[in-house]
Amino acid sequence: MAKLNVQLPGLLSPVVAGRLNFPIEAPTLRGALETIRRDQPCLGLHLFAENGELRQHVLCFLNGTNTRWLDDLELPVKNGDTLLFMQAVSGG
């Protein structure tokens, strides 16, 4: 098990009572996503679509790498890794 830091955008503040940064423990990237979904279902509703995938306009970065670019979510994670969620905003 590794201890990761999760960072959320400000818009989700009401969903997590203002706690936009929090730690989770998981062995892999997939495990980290599943932990969030399982342990914080209200937050999970806003990050994941009905089919369990990330919502279309939600981005997730593991140490700065877009997780959609990864071939395998079974990637092991390590202590101190950062999982950053952002909304995909482009243009104006």
Partner 1 sequence: MGVTLVVGTDKGGFVYRSDDSRQKWRIEGPFFKGWKVTAAARAGDGTWLVGTASDVYGSAIHKSADLRDWRQVPQGPAYAPESNRKLTQIWRIVAPDSIWYAGVAEAGLFRSTDNGESWQPLAGLNDHRSRGNWCPGAGGLCAHSILIDPGNSKRLWCGISAVGVFRSDDAGVTWTAKNDGVPIILEDKDFCDIGFCVHTIVADPSDPNRIYRQDHRGMFRSSDAGDHWERIENGLTSGYGFPLAIDRRSRALFAFPLESDEYRAPQGGQFRIFRSTDSGDSWHALTEGLPQEHVYANVLRGAMDADHLSPGGVYVGTTSGDVFVTRNGGDRWFALPGRLPRIHCVAAITEGA
Q: Which is nearer to partner 1, 1 or 42 (CB)?
A: 42
Q: Distance from CA of residue 74 to its chain's centroid? A: 14
Q: Which is nearer to partner 1, 14 or 92 (CB)?
A: 14
Please state, as a whole number, how many other Cβ atoms lie within 10 Å of the Cβ of residue 27. 14
Quote the least distance from Cβ 38 to partner 1, whole Å: 13
- Tell me the site size for partner 1, rule CB under 8 A: 19
Q: Which residues pair with 24 in a beta bridge?
A: 4
CB of 15 to partner 1, least distance (A): 6
User: How far from chain centre, in Å, is Cα 48?
Assistant: 9
Q: Which residues 18-77 are close enough to bind partner 1 by CB under 8 A?
A: 41-42, 45-47, 49-52, 55, 57-58
* Coil vs helix vs strand at 11: helix
Residue appearing with tokens 């092991």: 76
Which residue, chain included where needed, has tokens 């679509």?
Answer: 49
For position 88 contacting partner 1 by CB under 8 A, the verdict is yes
> Which positions touch partner 1 (CB under 8 A)?
10-12, 14-15, 41-42, 45-47, 49-52, 55, 57-58, 87-88
